Amino acid sequence: MSRIWVGNVPSELCANEEQIREFFGVFGDIHSIQAHYNQADMTAPGFIFLEYKTKQEATSAVEAVNGNSLQFEGAANIKAAIAFDRDNQTKFDVDESLCDLLSGRTQLLLSNPLSQQSQSQFDDENLVLQSLSQRVSSRKKSKKRKRR
């Protein structure tokens, strides 16, 4: 099976599966159709996914669409491409620490980027500083209360 994406399709065509099969069935046997369009605004173009039994049929359909071989109103604006197969996408092995850095889970030592400090030391020092700052701010509040 081979899927194609067809974009900028008039909504009237998206809403009519029989017409889709009529226009695109000449390139091969269509196994499935998924039409996406705005039902509230039929003037906005939509897109469809067509699944052909063979890659050759799908390629023929894409070439015909992009070569403006289709003969119906609005066909000149339609574009097509072979759709990505999401099940067989290439998986990349990425270092977990890099993922943490990119996703914001790792704090950078902005004050000294060349520091040899480990992350656990950095975290421990942050906790100590937070604790001290809370103590200082609570003492200032208690002194203000005593003055009143």
| pLDDT tens digits along 8-58 | 999 998 999 999 999 899 999 999 999 999 988 888 899 999 999 999 999
Whether 50 contacts 65, CB under 8 Å: no
Q: Give the confidence band of 102 by pLDDT, cuts at 50, 70, 90.
A: low
Structure tokens at 45: 């173009």
pTM of the complete model: 0.56
What pLDDT is stored for residue 92 in this prediction? 63
HEC string for 67-82? CCCCCCCCHHHCEEEE
Type of residue found at 106: T
4 sits in which H/E element: strand 2-9
58 sits in which H/E element: helix 55-66
Residue 42, C-beta contacts closer than 8 angstroms, at least 6 positions apart: 11, 12, 15
Q: Is 90 helix (H, G, I), strand (E, B) or coil?
A: coil
Distances (CA, A) of 121 to 33, 64, 124: 57, 63, 5
Residues 123-134, mean pLDDT to the nearest whole number: 66
Give the separation between CA 8 and CA 53, rounded to whole angstroms: 24
- How many separate helices (H) and strands (E) can be counted in the chain? 5, 4
For all residues of the chain together, what is the average pLDDT?
Answer: 77
Residue 39, C-beta contacts closer than 8 angstroms, at least 6 positions apart: 11, 15
